[in-house]
Amino acid sequence: MAEYEQLQEISSSLERGEIDGGRYLEQFTRFLAGHIGCSRATVRVFIDTPAGRALRSIAMYDAIQNRMIAAQDLLRADTGPYFDRLLHDGCVVVSETRTDPIVAPFRKAYLEPNDIRSVMDMCFAVNGELFGTFSCEQLNQPLEWTQRQVQMLRKLASRASLTLMHVVTGNVDTAPGALWETSTPNRLATMPMPLDPNPPA
């Protein structure tokens, strides 16, 4: 299918050294938002914080603003029904965040302030260990996710997981001033991400 060929081309550009890891993540999240048809597409990884494990955004593309943006951590992401659903089904699909109890832990701090009405999170694992999520979000009004969208995100996430690991291991840790942590999730979470230096007014 055309979308998988396009994803392969983005991955091939990384392998050929034509783009770096940060640019790969930018192109991937733009690609994801366009093909799924959502307001935002995000890659998140689990990290350890003083408040417990959290999901940290390492790349978020906002289709409404047409640029990469920063996002806050999703705290307490490794407990409760949200995490249970990720483990059991491999995904969390919510069409209305204001009423679904699955995303209640994120409602006050993240979902409501950003007017995120629908979410679709697909987990990805490395060597059988849950590592993070590929997330699609719809702003301003609810979206009833279709089975086609769910299956597409599942396949795209599966195909992109290995390349994501290459993004991490392909970076040189010994550069002056490098602040990499030893664990892969923390290394991902400290990657410098390209944000649009001239956001639209």
Q: Domain boundaries in the chain? A: 2-171+179-189
Topology adopted by domain 2-171+179-189: Beta-Lactamase (3.30.450)
> Which pair of structure tokens corresponds to residue 131?
């590592």
Q: What string of pLDDT tens digits covers the 201 residues of the chain?
A: 577 788 888 988 888 889 888 899 999 999 999 999 999 999 998 888 887 889 999 899 999 999 999 988 898 888 889 999 998 999 999 999 999 999 999 999 999 999 999 999 999 877 777 888 999 999 999 999 999 999 999 998 888 887 876 675 554 332 333 333 334 444 444 444 455 544 544
Calculate ∠ Cα 190-194-198, nearest 5°. 140
| One-letter-per-residue 3-state SS of the chain | CHHHHHHHHHHHHHHCCCCCHHHHHHHHHHHHHHHHCCCEEEEEEEEEECCEEEEEEEEEEECCCCEECCCCCEECCCCHHHHHHHHHHCEEEECCCCCCHHHHHHHHHHHCCCCEEEEEEEEEEECCEEEEEEEEEEECCCCCCCHHHHHHHHHHHHHHHHHHHHHHHCCCCCCCCCCCCCCHHHHHHCCCCCCCCCCCC
- Residues 60 and 87: their CA atoms lie apart, in Å, by 23
The pLDDT, as a whole number, for residue 21 is: 87
pTM over 0.85: no
> Over the stretch 139-185, which tens digit does the pLDDT of each residue have?
999 999 999 999 999 998 888 887 876 675 554 332 333 333 334 44
Mean pLDDT of all residues belonging to the chain: 82
Q: Return phi, psi of residue 120, to 5°.
A: -140, 110
